[in-house]
Structure 1
């Protein structure tokens, strides 16, 4: 049964940007953000580092998860634009499609320093080693030196150099909404969102099957598969829905494993991550024909569940992915 989806760093508190323009009261999709003469500031953790933020006006968001968090908080008026690499499915399929249409599409490339400088960003929202990158020369430390504020997804902080922070992926989502709510002064909106998400998660947990089926998430790769380890949302999705990620013991985010390890795990369900540029149907066809996987229990029984890319990265849509996968597990014959 295959289911397809409908300055220099220190440990001290610092102010990252200068005072902003004149006094404003902005309304963004029901969220009011108050700032008096640009003087409002708040100290919020950026991973394990205490950082002082002033209210941003020109946010650049990298990937759907970053933009979705801001849109869910009603902060569309503060979002200047978004960078969306080809892996991300079209934003027209997002629950916040109307919000995407109100802001600028900046690039379909990877995040880079030149772009955020050219766009005069005053906050960049991304993950560590997914948007921010030492190799590509765009890190929070580099942006600090340019007077550009930055915010990292908490689920990506477990190996952030110098200031790591370790939480479960869903707790990372809740933490991000809380911290962004404090940065923009919409704490009540953030608290309401988190409360609602927790209630939905608990409703799923209460219905989870007692038998935990082994689950393998297939992201990509033919020579070696790329999969979800402990530190990314699909592991929480699998666990909360009543399954068991066969690679949950790996202390990593997205990682390569061997086909031999997949075979040893004998997954009874395979989650296939659906990219914009790597369709799930092609991946399923590969797994059905590949000698190492065609006799796995999940493949023989055609137990494939397709997870949308934006339900698998840190995003409010993780909750949607959880509910869908939980319904899929409950519907399997026992």
Structure 2
């Protein structure tokens, strides 16, 4: 059972005093601030110091992982806006999300600022750009100068403000960084007790799967993006799916491709790798479920060029969602889901 079904919303607004020592996301130590008052804290996130002088009250969450993490932390009532869901939210967050302002696409910087946010939480690094792109909210430092603090999920830390997937270090892509984010955001939002409960729930459920699949053969698994033209696009090493497949008792068939999260390859290369399982990752709409990937699954199963694939012969091409392999509080849910697909005899 997911943590949202186990926990009552708890909002503990704790005043953290100057001199407190905090664990920082993406490594490094965080220091308490001394320039913005006794309640100010500073946490290091993706190379930048994030300082707040009290728990943020007007939060904008961009992308599925950020939206679901905000609900998991129990700060749904502070969300002044949410944007760009890749699929339906997890059932335990559905009711809370219904009452929040939602943008199907990312709003412009001007529209974002019109909501008067004091904090922007982003599940991906491309929402912040230093090049003035209309598709971004601008550089994080620029937003900070306006009094808007920002956060990028640590498994996707770029090497510099405004850089994208090519700047992700695969070593940062781990559930440990998800846990670090939860704890750091728990401190920032004043909900540390809730954050620890979410971490404990994730760890317990993933550990249970790990125990069930221990000693079993580790099949190769490909995450294949659906509805993308111009070749085939698979999840490479920096994609969070690599972590979740490993936790579920498998191996990402394309983990050695480390240049980007999403890597275009030829059909010949896909056939050569011959994965044991193929998860067809569909995206991006707030109403999307696994059922929407069914047509793509059927197309792959019926493609003569793929007829000799093990996954085709054994009917192991399965519908999946892009939201499932994004870093965040879906970690336990997706680990259980993948394990049930690739180890059905061990994980019921």
Same fold (TM over 0.5): yes
* Partner in structure 2 of residue 329 of structure 1: 342
Distance across 2 between alignment mates of 1:164 and 1:304:
29
Measured at CA, do residues 125 and 153 of structure 1 come closer, stay the same or move farther in structure 2, by a change above 3 Å? same
The one of 238, 247, 252 equivalent to 1:240 is 247
The one of 87, 90, 104 equivalent to 2:88 is 90
The one of 306, 309, 313 equivalent to 1:293 is 306
RMSD of aligned C-alpha atoms? 2.7
Measured at CA, do residues 284 and 130 of structure 1 come closer, stay the same or move farther in structure 2, by a change above 3 Å? farther
4+ residue stretches of structure 1 with deviation over 3 A? Answer: 34-39, 127-130, 158-166, 289-292
Query: What is the number of equivalent residue pairs in this alignment?
Result: 302
| Residue segments in structure 1 that go unaligned for 5+ positions in a row | 1-27
Preserved CA contact (<8 Å) 2:221 2:251 = yes
Preserved CA contact (<8 Å) 2:50 2:149 = no
Preserved CA contact (<8 Å) 1:228 1:253 = yes
**1:30 pairs with 2:10:** yes
**1:201 pairs with 2:211:** no
Distance across 2 between alignment mates of 1:323 and 1:60:
29
Distance across 2 between alignment mates of 1:61 and 1:98:
16
Preserved CA contact (<8 Å) 1:111 1:132 = no
Deviation string, structure 1 residues 56-86 (Cα, Å, up to 9, x no partner): 111110122101111111112221120125x
The one of 111, 114, 123 equivalent to 1:115 is 111
Deviation string, structure 1 residues 187-242 (Cα, Å, up to 9, x no partner): 22212221221121111111225211111111132422222112222111111111
Measured at CA, do residues 232 and 94 of structure 1 come closer, stay the same or move farther in structure 2, by a change above 3 Å? farther
Deviation string, structure 1 residues 35-76 (Cα, Å, up to 9, x no partner): 699863211111122331232111110122101111111112
Measured at CA, do residues 274 and 38 of structure 1 come closer, stay the same or move farther in structure 2, by a change above 3 Å? farther
How far apart are residue 128 of structure 1 and its match? Answer: 4.2
* Partner in structure 1 of residue 48 of structure 2: 49
Query: Which range moves more in the overlay, 251-260 or 118-127?
Result: 251-260
Preserved CA contact (<8 Å) 1:233 1:318 = no
Deviation string, structure 1 residues 102-151 (Cα, Å, up to 9, x no partner): 3222x111343122111111111114444334443423133123321111
The one of 219, 224, 233 equivalent to 2:225 is 219
**1:316 pairs with 2:314:** no
Distance across 2 between alignment mates of 1:130 and 1:285:
32
Distance across 2 between alignment mates of 1:72 and 1:192:
10
* Partner in structure 2 of residue 25 of structure 1: none
Distance across 2 between alignment mates of 1:305 and 1:172:
28
| Residue segments in structure 2 that go unaligned for 5+ positions in a row | 1-7, 17-35
Distance across 2 between alignment mates of 1:76 and 1:30:
11
* Partner in structure 1 of residue 20 of structure 2: none
Q: Matches of residues 140-151 of structure 1 in structure 2 within 5 Å?
A: 140-151=140-151
TM-score when scaled to structure 2?
0.78
Distance across 2 between alignment mates of 1:234 and 1:84:
20
Query: Which range moves more in the overlay, 206-215 or 54-63?
Result: 206-215
How far apart are residue 160 of structure 1 and its match? Answer: 4.0
What SS does the corresponding residue of 1:96 show, helix, strand or coil? helix
Distance across 1 between alignment mates of 2:47 and 2:256:
23
Distance across 2 between alignment mates of 1:164 and 1:260:
27
